[in-house]
Amino acid sequence: MATLTLHDDPLPLSVDEVGRIRVAGARIFIQNIVARFNQGMPAEEIARGYDTLTLADVYATLAYYLRHKAEVDEYVRQLAAEAEAIRAEFEAKFPPKVSRDELRARRDALLRRQP
């Protein structure tokens, strides 16, 4: 009779020095993998996109995400809110001298002049 030993593989995720969750050894943030997965990217393509990431680690990270989806989604939402607050604070201290609309108009004008 064939036998197989089931191994208790450790989760490839760890918390870094500032409290962000990364794939251990690869230093890739969990939210990068989750975002690509939610955009419909298959695990194999996600792994190919990072030279430090193994396919097994991508699958393990996705398995963790799917088991704890609400918690991970909330964590990612909080990170996005923190990033937006930092961006708003920076822009308040250092307002752009040119608006985005003006930059787009300049770009469009340049593109119209090119042959």
Q: Are 33 and 58 in contact (CB under 8 A)?
A: yes
The answer to whether residue 92 is domain-embedded is: yes
The answer to whether residue 35 is domain-embedded is: yes
13 DSSP β-pair partners: 23
14 DSSP β-pair partners: 22
Domains contained in the chain, number: 1
Residue 21: other Cβ atoms inside 10 A: 18
Task: Give residue 37's domain range.
Answer: 13-113
The answer to whether residue 8 is domain-embedded is: no
The answer to whether residue 1 is domain-embedded is: no
| pLDDT, tens only, 93-112 | 888 788 888 889 989 988 88
* Structure-token match 């990170």, residue found: 79
Which residues make Cβ contacts (< 8 Å) with residue 81, sequence separation at least 6?
A: none
Give the H or E element holding residue 28: strand 28-29
| pLDDT, tens only, 35-79 | 999 999 999 999 999 999 999 999 999 999 999 999 999 999 999
Q: What is the CATH number of the domain that holds 68?
A: 1.10.10.10
Task: Tell whether pTM > 0.85.
Answer: no
